[in-house]
A and B are shown apart, each in its own frame.
Chain A
Amino acid sequence: DADVTQTPRNRITKTGKRIMLECSQTKGHDRMYWYRQDPGLGLRLIYYSFDVKDINKGEISDGYSVSRQAQAKFSLSLESAIPNQTALYFCATSDPQSGNTIYFGEGSWLTVV
């Protein structure tokens, strides 16, 4: 089983719909992240959480919200999806006690039509 699991892996949704991407990890890391990847723009940080009570905005948080339900779970929501949120979304974890190597999930393809 993967250490960082994202669901769904693929989703097509309509403009204006609410969509949630879920992430769970078995690495026991406190730090979790959500990134989006767009061609030519690399990965950009949406939100990050250093523990269950510590959630912070990243570079591009507008239009997104997150919930850290437990140490192992970090979900990303698009309250009202728009076409320019079509992207590949990645969840990741890291542990500062082990050099802060970051581990990524397999990604969630989201298409907003």
Chain B
Amino acid sequence: KQEVTQIPAALSVPEGENLVLNCSFTDSAIYNLQWFRQDPGKGLTSLLLIQSSQREQTSGRLNASLDKSSGRSTLYIAASQPGDSATYLCAVRGGGATNKLIFGTGTLLAVQP
């Protein structure tokens, strides 16, 4: 059974710092991996999607990497801003017949001005 873990559960950094959020998964047979942002009481906004054949994806100050063999993904946020404060979730989609999206429990990020 696929399990997705995100460490740390919470992170507080000063504004301007570069930071890395971690996501690990137990079954490397994935179809893709997606990073989301969730603001309090809101839905999830997709940030980046990495297909299983890709190693990384970039969008603005965000860079996500994927290492299937080790079951890891990282989300790198450059020059963090208070507006980046949110919960970040990763989710892996299984390959083949399962094709289900399994979520981690998220990392709550607070960027201090």
| A interface list, Cβ under 8 A from B | 4, 33, 35, 40-45, 48, 58, 88, 90, 92, 99-107, 109
Contacts and interface: CB of A to CB of B under 8 A. Distances in A.
A2 B36 CA distance: 17
Given A45-B100, A102-B101, 11 more contacts: A4-B43, A42-B89, A42-B103, A42-B104, A45-B101, A48-B100, A100-B93, A101-B34, A103-B46, A104-B43, A104-B44
Interface string B47-63: 00101000000000000
B41 interface: yes
B105 interface: yes
Contacts of B49: 99-101
A101 B49 CA distance: 7
Q: Which 7 pairs show the lowest CB-CB distances between chains A and B?
A: A42-B105, A104-B43, A43-B103, A104-B44, A42-B103, A106-B43, A101-B49
Q: What is the interface of chain A mostly: helix, strand, loop, or mixed? A: strand
A65 B36 CA distance: 27
B89 A99 contact: no
Interface of B: 4, 31-32, 34, 36, 41-46, 49, 51, 89, 91, 93, 100-101, 103-106
B106 A42 contact: yes
A107 B46 contact: no
17 contacts: A33-B101, A35-B103, A41-B105, A42-B104, A42-B106, A43-B44, A43-B89, A45-B100, A100-B31, A100-B32, A100-B49, A101-B46, A101-B49, A102-B34, A102-B101, A104-B45, A105-B43
Nearest to B48: A101
Contact of A107 (B34, B41, B91): B41
Contacts of A88: 41
B43 A99 contact: no
Nearest to B104: A42
A74 to B, nearest CB: 15
Contacts of B41: 88, 107, 109
